Amino acid sequence: MKYLSLIVFTLLTCVNLFAQENTELTRKQSSMLDDAVEFGNKSNAKQALGLMWKIYKENPNNIDLNYNMGLAYINLNGNPDSALYFFDKVQKLDNSGIWTEDDVDLHLAICRAYQLKEDYESALMELTLIREKNDTGYANDKIKREVNICQNAITLMANPVRLEVENLGPKVNSVHNDYRPVLSNSETEMYFTSRRRRNERRSAFDDGQYEESIYCMTLDENGQWGEPKRVPNIFDYAGRNQESATCVANNDKELYIFHNGEIFVSKRDTITAPWQRAEWLPEPINGYGDIKYAFVTADGEQMFFSSDCGGGYGGYDIYRSRRLPNGNWGVPLNLGPGINTEYDEDAPVMHPTKNILYFSSEGHNSMGGYDIFYAPQNEDGSFDAVVNIGYPINTPYDDIYFMPSSQKDVAYYASIKWDADAKNISSNGYDLYKVTYDEPEVNKMAVYKGVVMAEDLKDVKIYAMQEDKQVGIYRPNVNGQYVIILETGLDYTIKVSASDTTTTFVANADLSKSYYHAGQPIQLAVIDLRPNVLSPEVASKADSDKAQSGKQQGEDKSDFAAIYDKQGYTIQILSLKKALNPSRLKGVDAKELMEHKYLDGWYVYSYKVYDTYSEAKTALEDILQSSPYKDAFVRKLSSYKKHVGQKIDGEIWQR
């Protein structure tokens, strides 16, 4: 389980952060603070605060104590006002006037407290102060990241999604962590994980929570969830372990379970039979790293999971494995930089009826902690640019484990939210929430996506303007892809700028092109802000002229035959049952693609022609790193001849 962590500093620290004079702690008080720090470092902020308050009653003016109390209130996942009180007191006790790295940490903590209050303007003011005072370069990358988080949040909160977020209440949620909602295929059962106390003989962990257990509740005739009941006897062990359901598959007869960093599956013969002992999933799923979550699609053909198995983009990444003809799982492949970032990604889930991947990430345009995102899947298996699901589902706290249902207006997820009225439910840990969409409003939202090319993508900003009013600011991902969500029925001016270069265009859509009705994003033009390149209009005409020329050449029989008689190599990237427009393939130049129509009806796509195997091998390495085609491989061009040859007028023609 990943707990909300602070920004650039350890959860709690007992070193003398500020060298200025302050009320000294007695030896006993110092020992108690050490114990409190130990509790804090084990994610037990509640126990840490209990000890700190005992010290505070005797010695309220110690800088280290006040600072650590502020941090503890932040890590209690709530009550940011209390954190700000203690941070303000630290500033009053520290009157040296000298700005040090400790002050950077303090004001970053203040920034985080304002974020938890959803006061991002004040958080930005703190970051501005840090930039003015911090002349050492200390924590500059983190400061820049926090600025982006605040700007993301301001944009998302200015355009909230019309929906209702409802805590499932004390019948479901306990005073301990409750998370990972899992709907059965029939959606009549919901499994979830809880760290509540279930046995008087069990003792708490260092973080104050109890061991993970899986619970299940059934939907009653009134459409309400019944009393949760623990799912027993899935593992044979006597010790305390992690045990968490992640998905139900195979018509409710398979339950996939996260257990001590690996994935297991429990089976049952019928939907009324008890779950059998869980079985370890063999390689290549387990055995390569710590796995946090696994999800099998409704058709049973794909498994998505999050892992730190190495070779990724940082932290935990999302991988996909496909079912092989023999029923086993194939080698997992990283979903690439369009989905994964240098930060953690977790909890991948495919919608039960739509080709949409949901997942949580600390990267992309998160507004702090984990945010929930989605990405539509294309026919070739790749994913479009990632979209933040929006506020108020996402908050500055951790929002994760999104579980969509087949009902168009209902979903479930887990979140850490500070709710003063729900203290008896959550103690401000993870709770389960239900999302009910306001369908008429959601139906009106259109998803625009495009690509921008620039010498430095970090300098690119995309502004959406409506009647001279800015309604959103966006940034492209590492591949130059960007996504804009706007209401239909209005005209927008989209301004794309980088350094001294700016271009604008108009975007609009009627209700029939909303994402709900059309089921796909609206494609925008490729914007190239690099110097000395063709404009989009000129480039488009050049591509059209070249395509027409290639079509005319292809009508000559000798040209077709000559292609496969070449002693060269190509890179096969994709095979599909249906032909597609090559321009839809991401990460490769469509002008360099070759389509091979097999006699059995399949369409195979390969990329470029190379004279030698070594040249093709070098190019393959670039494709594997920079494109979504992780199954690509080098192949002799002549090897296609037997698959595509067909007799016409007594001659062998090749496509």
Report how far residue 561's alpha carbon sits from residue 2's, in angstroms, rounded to the nearest whole number: 58
Q: Which residue has the higher pLDDT, 213 or 446?
A: 213
Q: List C-alpha distances in Å: 459 to 343, 366, 462, 498.
A: 20, 18, 10, 5
Whether residue 392 is preceded by a cis peptide bond, meaning omega within 30 degrees of 0, is yes
List the one residue out of 284, 293, 241 whose CA is nearest residue 263.
Answer: 293
Out of 71-80, 391-400, 432-441, which region has the weakest mean confidence (pLDDT)? 432-441
* pLDDT exceeds 90 at position 109: yes
Cα four-point dihedral sign 540, 541, 542, 548 = positive
pTM assigned to the model: 0.68
Within 583-649, residue ranges assigned H as helices are 613-626, 641-644
- Average pLDDT of span 595-617: 80
In this prediction, residue 559 has a pLDDT band, given cuts at 50, 70 and 90, of very low
Give the per-residue SS3 of 370-407: CEEEEEEECCCCCECCCEECCCCCCCCCCEEEEEECCC
627-655 tens-digit pLDDT: 777 767 778 887 777 677 643 333 333 33
* pLDDT exceeds 80 at position 250: yes
Report how far residue 212's alpha carbon sits from residue 134's, in angstroms, rounded to the nearest whole number: 44
Largest CA distance in the chain: 101
Phi then psi for residue 368, to 5 deg, are 120, 135
Q: What SS3 class is residue 183?
A: strand
| Strand pairing report for 189-194 and 178-183 | antiparallel
Q: Which residue has the higher pLDDT, 403 or 615?
A: 403
Strand ranges across the sheet with 345-350: 345-350, 356-361, 371-376, 387-388
Q: Given its phi and psi angles, is residue 26 left (phi above 0), alpha (psi -120 to 50 degrees) or beta?
A: beta
| Strand pairing report for 244-249 and 371-376 | unpaired
Cα four-point dihedral sign 325, 326, 328, 334 = negative
Report how far residue 312's alpha carbon sits from residue 318's, in angstroms, rounded to the nearest whole number: 9
Is the separation of the CB atoms in 449 and 482 below 8 Å? Answer: yes
How many beta carbons lie within 10 A of that of residue 131, not counting itself?
13
pLDDT, position 577: 66
- Average pLDDT of span 297-316: 89
How many beta carbons lie within 10 A of that of residue 507, not counting itself?
18
Structure tokens at 558: 């000798």
Phi then psi for residue 30, to 5 deg, are -60, -40
pLDDT, position 227: 93
Structure tokens at 499: 């350094």
pLDDT, position 563: 66
Structure tokens at 409: 């207006």
Is the separation of the CB atoms in 536 and 526 below 8 Å? Answer: yes
Residues 6+ apart with CB under 8 A from 527: 450, 451, 452, 453, 496, 503, 536
Which amino acid appears at position 317 of this protein? D
Q: Which residue has the higher pLDDT, 270 or 96?
A: 270
In this prediction, residue 556 has a pLDDT band, given cuts at 50, 70 and 90, of very low
Out of 296-300, 536-540, 592-596, which region has the weakest mean confidence (pLDDT)? 536-540
* pLDDT exceeds 50 at position 548: no
pLDDT, position 625: 76
In this prediction, residue 189 has a pLDDT band, given cuts at 50, 70 and 90, of very high
Percent of the chain scored above 90 by pLDDT? 38
Measured distance between the N- and C-terminal CA atoms of the chain, rounded to whole angstroms: 53
* pLDDT exceeds 80 at position 201: no
CA dihedral 579, 581, 586, 588 (to 10 degrees): 90
Is the separation of the CB atoms in 487 and 446 below 8 Å? Answer: yes
152-183 tens-digit pLDDT: 999 999 888 878 899 998 999 998 999 999 99
* pLDDT exceeds 70 at position 579: yes
pLDDT, position 4: 30
* pLDDT exceeds 60 at position 586: yes
Helix (H) or strand (E) holding 130: helix 120-133
List the one residue out of 253, 181, 247 whose CA is nearest residue 219.
Answer: 181
How many beta carbons lie within 10 A of that of residue 176, not counting itself?
17
Out of 29-33, 34-38, 218-222, which region has the weakest mean confidence (pLDDT)? 218-222
510-521 tens-digit pLDDT: 777 776 666 677
List the one residue out of 411, 439, 442 whose CA is nearest residue 347.
Answer: 411
* pLDDT exceeds 60 at position 9: no
In this prediction, residue 393 has a pLDDT band, given cuts at 50, 70 and 90, of very high
Is the separation of the CB atoms in 80 and 117 below 8 Å? Answer: yes
Range of 184-188, 506-510, 542-546 with top mean pLDDT: 184-188
Report how far residue 600's alpha carbon sits from residue 644's, in angstroms, rounded to the nearest whole number: 9
In this prediction, residue 6 has a pLDDT band, given cuts at 50, 70 and 90, of very low
Out of 321-330, 446-455, 636-645, which region has the weakest mean confidence (pLDDT)? 636-645
In this prediction, residue 234 has a pLDDT band, given cuts at 50, 70 and 90, of confident
How does the average pLDDT of the chain come out, rounded? Answer: 81
- Average pLDDT of span 86-111: 90
